[in-house]
Amino acid sequence: DAADKGNYEHFMMKEIQEQPQAIGMLLGHYLQEEGKEDMQKLRELLSTCSRLHIVACGSAYHAGMTGKYLIENLAGVAVEVELASEFRYRRPVLNEGEVVLVISQSGETADTVAALREAKVRGCRTMAIVNAQGSTIARESDLVLYTYAGPEISVATTKGYSTQLVVLDLIAVELASLKERITDAEKNKLHGELMQIPAKIRQILEHKEKLQRAANECAGKKQVFFIGRSLDYTLALEAALKLKEISYIHAEAYAAGELKHGTIALIEQDSLVVAIETQQELYDKIHSNIVEVQSRGAKIFAVGFEAAKKEKETLELEYRIPEIQPFFAPSLAIIPFQLFAYYISVAKGIDVDKPRNLAKSVTVE
Ligand code: G6P
């Protein structure tokens, strides 16, 4: 029974642990016979798409940011990402041939539903990445790609978000092949990399005690700065939100290159800076940001690939994720942050599954 915690103390931990299976099922669906029709419909919808607008709220918006970086990089298709609450009221420019993609775990978020309806009124073709089958957004979109994550009970999303990421990965690869930016062999190779995600998440979950230790060391912090570049920045947005939601620690994500433009003024002795490092071409850049904040007294918690580690670097805390094609690193890098936030929440005695003031689905404005 999905609404049963089983042996877990909280739904959030149960749902964190369900991610390898959920992602495995979703890949099984889309990469095999039963998902062929969805992929064909996707190709038809996107074949004349000149620009994609991704619209969502909360974590789904963060998944959309990652989707933008991936789709632009892999497929060369222009993508705008926007918060549904802004999109619905500001009359964005929507041209013929553009597609609006909404992302929503529940399929019922009021602003996202309204944004979808606005897109339809404005004559756009629409598609949705949704978890809840038969939900309003699923019913009203021209094409639905389900995430097949199963019911998510914990208010802070985990498997809902990580399955959205994988559907976006599949869209990026499909679009890249449609636009002839990759060969069939390259497409198969990327699919092969995606298939490794479940086992690699399992490896991370086997070492969760390391994150519990990191969490215990950081539970007393009043604020945490998350920095990253490119896909690591988009992941930082979600990592910071997870921490805020369930630990009540003030956390913000910054594009590391923006630190100098104001935020570095906040860094002082013992400030905690979480640095994400999975994008090889940017290792040098993120390292200089680490040095900049360290020289102002910050403590670093680095999360990324082993290969990102610099010789003789001093890091107070670090967590190394298994190697994977860097496009798909966010799917692995989010796991330590879900656990980190979870353990801080538990250490502080917070109601992990039902943090104060938050709702699972914001169905009224
Ligand atoms: C709420 C939840 C978030 C979620 C957001 C969007 O704020 O607490 O976890 O990301 O709504 O929800 P949706 O169901 O549209 O993905």
Kindly report, residue by residue over 77-99, the tens digit of the pLDDT.
999 999 999 999 998 999 888 99
Burial class of residue 21 (count of CB atoms within 10 Å of its CB; 0-12, 13-18, 19+): middle
Averaged pLDDT, 20-40: 94
Kindly report, residue by residue over 34-72, the tens digit of the pLDDT.
899 999 999 999 998 989 999 999 999 999 999 999 999
Q: Are 282 and 230 in contact (CB under 8 A)?
A: yes
Closest atom of ligand 1 to CA, residue 112: 15
- Two structure tokens written together for 320: 């190394």
Averaged pLDDT, 329-343: 98
360 catalytic? Reply is yes
SS (H, E, C) 285-349: HHHHHHHHHHCCCCEEEEEEEHHHCCCCCCCCEEEEECCCCHHHHHHHHHHHHHHHHHHHHHHCC
Residues pairing with 225 in the sheet:
252, 273
Q: Are 259 and 295 in contact (CB under 8 A)?
A: no
The pLDDT of residue 333 is 98
Kindly report, residue by residue over 216-247, the tens digit of the pLDDT.
999 999 999 999 999 999 999 999 999 999 99
How far is the C-alpha of 293 from the C-alpha of 95, rounded, in Å?
44
Longest Cα pair distance anywhere in the chain, in angstroms?
Answer: 58
Residue nearest to atom 4 of ligand 1 (CA): 58
Ligand 1 centre to CA of 230 (Å) is 23
**Could you tell me which of 108, 200, 209 has the C-alpha nearest to residue 152?**
108
Q: How far is CA 228 from CA 154, 169, 337, in A?
A: 27, 20, 14
Kindly report, residue by residue over 213-223, the tens digit of the pLDDT.
999 999 999 99
Q: Are 277 and 302 in contact (CB under 8 A)?
A: yes
pLDDT at 1 over 60: no
Count of beta carbons in the 10 Å neighbourhood of residue 47? 10
pLDDT at 2 over 60: no
Query: Does the beta carbon of 58 sit less than 6 angstroms from any atom of ligand 1?
Result: yes
How far is the C-alpha of 292 from the C-alpha of 215, rounded, in Å?
24
Q: Hunting for tokens 């670090």 — which residue is that?
A: 318
Kindly report, residue by residue over 268-306, the tens digit of the pLDDT.
999 999 999 999 999 999 999 999 999 999 999 999 999
Averaged pLDDT, 341-351: 97
The pLDDT of residue 278 is 98
Q: What does residue 71 show for φ and ψ, rounded to 5 degrees?
A: -65, -40
Burial class of residue 248 (count of CB atoms within 10 Å of its CB; 0-12, 13-18, 19+): middle
ipTM > 0.95 for the complex: yes
Distance separating the N- and C-terminal Cα atoms of the chain: 32
Question: Residue 167's pLDDT band (boundaries 50, 70, 90)?
Answer: very high
Query: Does the beta carbon of 131 sit less than 6 angstroms from any atom of ligand 1?
Result: no
What mean pLDDT value characterizes the chain? 95
Query: Does the beta carbon of 112 sit less than 6 angstroms from any atom of ligand 1?
Result: yes
Ligand 1 centre to CA of 120 (Å) is 22
Residue nearest to atom 7 of ligand 1 (CA): 58
The pLDDT of residue 107 is 97
Question: Helices 329-347 and 231-247: crossing angle, nearest 10°?
Answer: 20
**Could you tell me which of 171, 303, 298 has the C-alpha nearest to residue 232?**
303
pLDDT > 90: what percent of the chain?
93
Q: Are 130 and 105 in contact (CB under 8 A)?
A: yes
